[in-house]
């Protein structure tokens, strides 16, 4: 694949690329390019972490980029996920990998790295300390957004380590590209600033879109990145998120009551799921309705659907039904995997028991 085709694929992943000229130079000059993403094992995965993440990783792989997935068990521990129980956190990490396998991520082409293994390597902590020595406390606190925290939150001392470690991870993993969500932008920019000063490199940042939750957006937040973080799909508000192992009925109920104003696509989660999930995962959307309301419609790309929705040709209730059906089609292989695979089923049962007991 030529450089232009590779850049085109990576553009589909990156809502923002810092910077595209640097990306082009990297693709032209280096034969083996490494990208990484990381996740806290913190409970059931929703579709942004499962389906969208699989779509993005597979595109990066197709673009000829080697991919490392960091399972951040220590990060979840520092952030007090699963009640700060590291053993439970590790179980959740194993469950996450099973979800990605079932959702179509090419896990065989990915190197999975656990933070708990990485921290025992001799030169890891020297990188963390070097990052910390060259960062102010105020700057680190401003990066608290990456933990799902705000600057006004009272952070524990452990959480102060978090941005320093995440920044060091990029260099320890030898990642040329930090391919994380827009909510991780601040720490990635810190890494770009510190890399050359510390004798490393300036990583390219490919930040993917933050999928909206199902509720009505909070329009009081002016900063676009902070606004996206506040509106993103979150497991902390279960009915705002579609989980990878939700039942057919759960999906229909949640989407049925989702915020979805007619003729409007901006900050409307239901058309957004068509754009980022349905057309990427299925390549089509089928709207089923009686002849009384115009009959069935079939769409093969998002712009075509957007035009029909904005014009009023597609009603919100019809779109919700179509998206529910498509989402259930995409989730069915995951449900079947966790029903038929004994190890996967046991992991899911444990994760669910952790959620109940917290």
The token pair that represents 297 in the structure block: 């419609």
Q: If residue 101 lies in a helix (H) or strand (E), which one and from where to where?
A: helix 86-102
- pLDDT, average across residues 284-308: 95
Specify the pLDDT at position 355.
Answer: 73
pLDDT in tens, 37-87: 999 998 889 999 999 999 999 999 999 999 999 999 999 998 888 989 999
For residue 124, pLDDT beyond 80:
yes
The token pair that represents 273 in the structure block: 């799921």
Give the Cα separation of 57 and 105 in Å (integer): 7
Domains of the chain: 3-207 (3.40.50.620), 224-357 (1.10.240.10)
User: Strand 204-207 vs strand 177-178: parallel, antiparallel, or unpaired?
Assistant: parallel
Q: What is the DSSP string of 172-196?
A: HTT-SEE--BGGGHHHHHHHHHHHH
Q: Is the dihedral of CA 307, 12, 5, 205 positive or negative?
A: positive
pLDDT band at residue 155 using 50, 70 and 90 as cut-offs: confident
Give the Cα separation of 142 and 349 in Å (integer): 37
Percentage of residues in the chain with pLDDT exceeding 90?
79
Residue 171: burial class (beta carbons within 10 Å; 0-12, 13-18, 19+): buried
pLDDT in tens, 219-255: 787 776 677 777 788 777 778 899 999 999 999 999 9
pLDDT in tens, 26-50: 999 999 999 999 999 988 899 999 9
Specify the pLDDT at position 149.
Answer: 58
Entry pTM: 0.91
Give the Cα separation of 321 and 256 in Å (integer): 7
pLDDT in tens, 179-234: 999 989 999 999 999 999 999 999 999 999 999 999 988 778 777 667 777 778 87
């Amino acid at each position: 694949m030529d450089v232009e085709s590779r850049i085109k694929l990576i553009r589909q992943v990156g809502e923002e690329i810092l910077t595209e000229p640097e990306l082009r130079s990297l693709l032209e000059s280096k034969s083996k390019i490494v990208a990484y993403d990381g996740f806290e094992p913190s409970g059931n995965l929703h579709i942004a972490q499962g389906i969208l993440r699989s779509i993005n990783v597979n595109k990066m792989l197709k673009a000829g980029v080697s991919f490392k997935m960091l399972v951040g068990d220590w990060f979840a521990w520092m952030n007090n996920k699963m009640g700060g129980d590291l053993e439970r956190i590790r179980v959740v990490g194993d469950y996450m990998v099973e979800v990605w396998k079932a959702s179509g991520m090419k896990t065989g082409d990915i190197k999975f790295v656990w933070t708990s293994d990485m921290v025992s390597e001799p030169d890891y902590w020297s990188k963390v300390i070097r990052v910390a020595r060259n960062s102010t406390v105020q700057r680190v606190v401003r990066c608290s957004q990456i933990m799902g925290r705000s600057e006004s939150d009272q952070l524990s001392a452990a959480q102060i380590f978090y941005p320093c470690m995440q920044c060091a991870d990029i260099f320890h993993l030898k990642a040329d590209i930090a391919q994380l969500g827009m909510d991780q932008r601040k720490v990635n920019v810190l890494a770009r600033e510190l890399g050359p000063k510390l004798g490393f490199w300036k990583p390219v940042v490919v930040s993917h879109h933050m999928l909206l939750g199902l509720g009505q957006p909070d329009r009081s937040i002016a900063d676009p990145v902070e606004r996206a973080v506040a509106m993103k799909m979150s497991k902390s508000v279960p009915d705002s998120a579609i989980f990878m192992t939700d039942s057919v009925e759960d999906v229909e109920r949640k989407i049925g009551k989702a915020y979805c104003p007619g003729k409007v696509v901006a900050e409307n989660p239901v058309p957004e799921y068509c754009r980022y999930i349905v057309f990427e995962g299925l390549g089509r959307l089928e709207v089923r309705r009686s002849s009384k309301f115009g009959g069935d419609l079939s769409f093969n790309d998002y712009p075509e659907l957007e035009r029909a929705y904005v014009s009023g040709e597609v009603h919100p209730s019809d779109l919700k039904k179509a998206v529910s059906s498509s989402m259930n089609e995409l989730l069915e292989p995951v449900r079947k995997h966790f029903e038929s695979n004994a190890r996967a089923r046991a992991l899911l049962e444990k994760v669910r028991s952790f959620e109940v007991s917290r």
